[in-house]
Amino acid sequence: MEHLLRNALIGNAAALGLNWIYDMPFLERLSKKQSLTFLKPDQNLYDQSKKSYFAYPLADIGDVSFQGMIALWLYQTLKTNPQYPFDKYDDLLYENIKEGSSYQGYIEAYGKKLIEDRLHMEKDPTFFSRPFEDDQLVGFVPYIVCHQVGLTTTRALKFTHVFGTHPDYLLYFNMLDTFFKRAKQTSHKKVIEEIIEFMPLDKKETFLQAIKMTDTKKYIATYAGTACHIPHAVPVIFHVVYHSQSFEEGLEMNTRIGGASADRGMLIGAMLGEVFNVDESLIKKTNKTLALLV
């Protein structure tokens, strides 16, 4: 797991140019003409798709999504202070997105609510903010970052619970623990098969079909989805990782699926980077972002 965060950020950056295009047939047609990874976000491509949301007009090749930036902010903090308290996680995020901060990119719903709440608190000290409950892939950011700096899954879960207490996070964190402990020792497909064998029955079929079905479009339509919610996204992530024969192939497959591809790409990049070599050319494309890891 030496390069866990690096590989996650590469996976995130690879898909940002087509992130939140929800038109798989359009992306499939486009993939026959060119590579879909490491593109500069282009309004014209978003306009050509049937359903999309153009959120990163200022982004360049190698930049990362909002969740990618959160990973960098948290990493920089925990690297300096591994004892940084989890209940200050929202303070850390606020400091990096509040008015006057250097971040000029898209801010997701939990970030927007955080800004609104803090402004409200400045006007009314008695204001009590209800915790933001999220069940999206942002919950995996602390897992990746904590393991990069040598902290435990238990510690990561405490950070995750600041923005979302969905019970499935613990299940998926434990699945990832098994994957990362064993992926270098044996076939990653065998590891995933064994992980799924011991899953709770109510989720097992969705993941079994993720590895059995090779028709990605049919699998997603029947069992999962392309949104960022973890019941949709995590099975798709395992589907991509299981069926990939290289790091690059997995990134292309993820981007071709569409939807929340940049944030799915963080886990896909992290997982595939444990199994396959990461070509130096991909690292160079993300150099500007990776420089922040130093």
pLDDT digits (tens, 9 = 90+) for 225-272: 999 899 999 999 999 999 999 999 999 999 999 999 999 999 999 999
Residue 209 located in a structural domain: yes
Range of the domain at 166: 4-33+44-50+61-293
Residue 38 located in a structural domain: no
Residue 171 located in a structural domain: yes
Residue 20 has pLDDT above 80, yes or no: yes
pLDDT band at 129 (very low <50, low <70, confident <90, very high): confident
pLDDT at 125: 83
pLDDT at 122: 87
Q: Which helix (H) or strand (E) covers residue 243, if one does?
A: helix 230-243
pLDDT band at 294 (very low <50, low <70, confident <90, very high): confident
pLDDT at 54: 98
Cα separation, 20 vs 23, in Å, equals 9
Residue 155 located in a structural domain: yes
Structure tokens belonging to residue 133: 């409950």
Q: What is the mean pLDDT of the chain?
A: 95
pLDDT band at 128 (very low <50, low <70, confident <90, very high): confident
pLDDT at 180: 97
Residue 39 located in a structural domain: no
Residue 254 located in a structural domain: yes
> CA neighbours within 13 Å on the CB side: how many for 127?
13
Residue 211 has pLDDT above 90, yes or no: yes
pLDDT digits (tens, 9 = 90+) for 144-156: 999 999 999 999 9
| CATH code where residue 208 lies | 1.10.4080.10
Count the domains in the chain. 1
Structure tokens belonging to residue 213: 């079905």
Residue 55 located in a structural domain: no
pLDDT at 100: 94
Residue 133 has pLDDT above 80, yes or no: no
Residue 25 located in a structural domain: yes
Q: What is the CA radius of gyration of the chain?
A: 18
pLDDT at 135: 87
